[in-house]
Structure 1
């Protein structure tokens, strides 16, 4: 009789943990925020012949833009430390920006990215969710890591990939679904 109650308590603990995770917004995956999202486009990012990550853009909008909700998912192929992700992101934000950005703003954005990002290794998935008019939410391997309540940050951050001035215009084309060889029927 004792082992039945012990097993019953173990099952109750597992069910309780599962319910707690579902009720915790920080544990929710980005898909709960964009339930109608479909894969718009995807591309590999290579730097000097090395595969760094695969990028996928998910949206319910037929033509996603910086003014529509979307999720940009990066699945890393290499080990990259967090500080390198932050520094490279800051450099690209400044390069793509049409106007100079102040040091105080960049410092604040760097602090947000340090909270949102992790040291990545092959297979690590970081997804940024664009929330127009509010900011961005970041997820690491499906769990929310940080929310940035700054629409200007979100616009500048996602411009790294989606602005016409991006360093990788072919990647931008593929992410926006402008590659005629891509299949548009995928779901998350």
Structure 2
């Protein structure tokens, strides 16, 4: 009984399962033809839901050297500057980049990431060997042309040492090649 309750609680917090197959949004499909949803989950801070996340992969699944997309749908209003600062904090916890690199990445993210309202989506697309492109509700925000940045940024959610291990598990649920 205890195990069942724990599983149900985890399902509520993380959002296990990807549900029925769904078509990728056009801005994701442009980078990942035949994209599929690998996994989805929610990120909460204490009891506050911050965002829902989705990982989209191509037919070869999730691999760091391949394009993939991570979409965050915000559950509350947040300042773009705070999103950038939180991202750098997580990169630092993972040991990604030098102090100088993280300072440069913070400036780039702060200039790209807008303030978001509940329901808005920021999508990051991993562009191997190039960097990462970002979208707000399907419209291009810009590109950070630095492969080291892209690795550090997506590691926030996908690295085994992430602070959000339950979310990582949910995102990678169906990420193996098909």
Partner of 1:107: 103
Q: What residue in structure 1 maps to residue 94 of structure 2?
A: 96
Structure 2 residue aligned with 1:132:
128
Residue by residue over 1:46-70, the C-alpha shift from the partner in whole angstroms, topping out at 9 and shown as x without a partner, is 1110111000000114430322210
1:84 aligned residue? 82
Stretches (4+) displaced over 3 A? none
**In the alignment, is the contact (CA less than 8 A) between 1:133 and 1:151 conserved in 2?**
yes
Q: Is the 8 A contact 1:126 1:138 kept in 2?
A: yes
Q: Which residue in the other structure is 1:146 paired with? A: 142
Question: Per-residue deviation at 1:36?
Answer: 1.3
Going from structure 1 to structure 2, the CA distance change for 1:178 and 1:38 (only over 3 Å counts) comes to closer
Q: Is 1:171 paired with 2:164?
A: no
Structure 1, unaligned stretches of length 5 or more?
Answer: 1-27, 180-188
Q: Give 5+ residue unaligned stretches, structure 2.
A: 1-25
Q: 2:73 aligns with which of 58, 75, 82?
A: 75
Q: Which has the higher helix share?
A: 1
Q: Deviations over 1:127-159 (max 9, x none)?
A: 000011111000011001010110000000000
| SS across alignment from 1:29 | helix
Root mean square deviation of aligned Cα:
1.7
Could you tell me which of 16, 32, 36 is aligned with 1:34? 32
Q: Secondary structure at the match of 1:64?
A: coil
Measure the CA separation in 1 of the matches of 2:33 and 2:68.
11
- What number of residue pairs does the alignment pair up? 150
